[in-house]
Amino acid sequence: MPMLTRRAALLILCVAPLGACGSNEDGRAAGGGTGLVVRPATVTLRAGEAVQLTAQVNGPTGAAIGGAPLLFVAESTSIVRISHQGLISATGAAGRDSVTVVSGALRVQVPVTVAAGYPAVVDVAGGALQTGLAGATLAEPLVVTVRDAYGNAVSRSAVRFTAESGGESAPTVATTDATGTARARWTLGPLAGTQFLTVSADSLSAASATVEASARPGSMARVVDVDPVGRRTVAGDTVTIRMRSQDSFGNGVQSTVFAFNVATGGGDVAPPRVESDSTGLAVTRCRTGTKAGTNALQVRAFEAHDTTFQVSIRTISGPPVALQLVSGDGQRARTATAVPRPPVVRVTDRFGNPVPAVRVRFATTPADALVQPQELVTDDQGNATPRVWTLGAVGDQELLVVVDGVADTVRVRARATTR
């Protein structure tokens, strides 16, 4: 038995034909065999798959010869292996190989092509961990390679790119080339921070990979007053001013410089110059003027460009601390007659601002004098005026005015006459 070792000869099997196919003859065999037919004549399979060969030795009449010796030999075991029964197994590597079927002097070579298996792994080859502007396309394309379970590059595989956070990819679906590579451009979503894109191969194994990128804010496009509604405080008190620098998508812009100056109403700002933090927030404090009313701050923000605007602070009077007589002292009237001008008193805070809605009480001497009403609430100007003060018996009269919590007591004098 030429070219065959004794050990190989002991492994020779007779394989029954499994179906008709074209004949591949390479000479005559000893013992009457004149033809060797192998099916299939060529083999194509994926990495990890197996294909069964069948072989038949024919005599001069074309009839099968039973018990003819058969030997199956693989050219290279790095790509395929073949069993003693003719089962070809792709070991994992893609490529071309061949197996030889031998029976005596008859030899048939079967070409074998091993293609990559189904997609099992998606590797990110380029474009990961980039940083770009929110809403902009990253500088480098995403490059991915699709491989099977044995590391072979998979060509003509559909690859889907799915961006999160409102981002986009172009294309959304790509096809791998001969090296298993696919590419796409990633446009980030509008929100600053970490964003993700999922790359998935079209396969039953759900092979995928996640790519990460960082979106940074753009330049300042606007300034937002964080507390625009209800900014109201007592005159002379301190209020917090919070401004936020934002890009066109509303992301906070860091390192925007804010300069604050008092425009009207008095007071001061500390600190007068603030730089925004990583969220775009700039915070300062304004001590308002002592006069109740409207205070205004001029704010200038500058980063890529400048913007100037005003912030208004409404101040109101503080708690009552003083009571004063405005008018009506020293009048004269006939007994049992009202004074011509009812007295006017005013309640003020520590800075002299009139305090509205404060309860004021009135009392008269002598006992036969009369004031109506005996209690009032100050108006918007902080004033309180009784409707009528009727004098008593002839002589000096006094109207006592008291406000709870105020140390001052106002005494209004008058004189009752007989005529």
CATH homologous superfamily for 322-417? Immunoglobulins (2.60.40.10)
* Residues 76, 97 contacting (CB under 8 angstroms): yes
What is the pTM assigned to this prediction? 0.73
Residue with tokens 């981002």: 167
* Residues 285, 269 contacting (CB under 8 angstroms): yes
| 3-state class (DSSP) for residue 186 | strand
Cα-trace Rg, the chain: 50
**240: closest CA among 275, 284, 274?**
284
| 3-state class (DSSP) for residue 84 | coil
Most distant CA pair in the chain, distance: 167
* Residues 288, 268 contacting (CB under 8 angstroms): no
* String of DSSP letters for 259-322: EEEEEES-EEEESSEEE--TTSEEEEEEEEPSSSEEEEEEEEEESSSEEEEEEEEEEE--S--E
The percentage of the chain sitting over the pLDDT mark of 70, rounded to a whole number, equals: 92
The H or E element containing residue 10 is: helix 6-10
Does the pLDDT of residue 346 top 70, yes or no? yes
Helix extents (H) in 65-139: none
Does domain 121-216 match CATH 2.30.30.830? no
Mean pLDDT across the chain: 91
Same fold for the domain at 6-115 and the one at 222-316? yes
For residues 59, 63, 67, 68, the Cα torsion angle rounded to the nearest 10 degrees is 30
User: Where does residue 269 rank: exposed (0-12), middle (13-18), buried (19+ CB within 10 A)?
Assistant: buried
**375: closest CA among 357, 348, 351?**
357
Average pLDDT, stretch 324-333?
98
Amino acid at 178: A
Residues 157-183 pLDDT 10s: 999 999 999 999 999 999 999 999 999
Average pLDDT, stretch 107-113?
98
- pLDDT value for 234: 96
- pLDDT value for 32: 58
Domain ranges of the chain: 6-115, 121-216, 222-316, 322-417
- pLDDT value for 81: 96
Q: What are phi and psi for residue 109, nearest 5 degrees? A: -100, 130
Does the pLDDT of residue 20 top 80, yes or no? no
Average pLDDT, stretch 177-194?
98
- pLDDT value for 203: 72
Residues 37-79 pLDDT 10s: 999 999 999 999 999 999 999 999 999 998 899 999 998 888 9
Does the pLDDT of residue 23 top 60, yes or no? no
Amino acid at 34: T
Average pLDDT, stretch 98-105?
96
- pLDDT value for 269: 98
* Residues 279, 244 contacting (CB under 8 angstroms): yes
**82: closest CA among 96, 104, 93, 98?**
98
What is the rounded distance in angstroms from the CA atom of residue 411 to the CA atom of residue 116? Answer: 107
Does the pLDDT of residue 19 top 60, yes or no? no
The CATH number corresponding to 222-316 among 3.30.1490.20, 1.10.3720.10, 3.20.20.70, 2.60.40.10 equals 2.60.40.10
Q: Nearest 5°: CA angle at 111, between 109 and 112?
A: 130
- pLDDT tier, 304 (very low <50, low <70, confident <90, very high otherwise): confident
Does the pLDDT of residue 119 top 60, yes or no? yes
What is the rounded distance in angstroms from the CA atom of residue 86 to the CA atom of residue 352? Answer: 110
* Residues 323, 306 contacting (CB under 8 angstroms): no
The H or E element containing residue 9 is: helix 6-10
CB-side exposure of 123: number of CA atoms within 13 Å? 13
Give the other-Cβ count within 10 Å of 129's Cβ: 9
Name which CATH class applies to 6-115.
Answer: mainly beta
- pLDDT tier, 299 (very low <50, low <70, confident <90, very high otherwise): very high
What is the rounded distance in angstroms from the CA atom of residue 271 to the CA atom of residue 268? Answer: 9
| 3-state class (DSSP) for residue 6 | helix
Average pLDDT, stretch 297-324?
95
* Residues 218, 135 contacting (CB under 8 angstroms): yes
- pLDDT tier, 13 (very low <50, low <70, confident <90, very high otherwise): very low
What is the rounded distance in angstroms from the CA atom of residue 221 to the CA atom of residue 301? Answer: 11
What is the rounded distance in angstroms from the CA atom of residue 20 to the CA atom of residue 302? Answer: 86
More confident residue, 7 or 410: 410
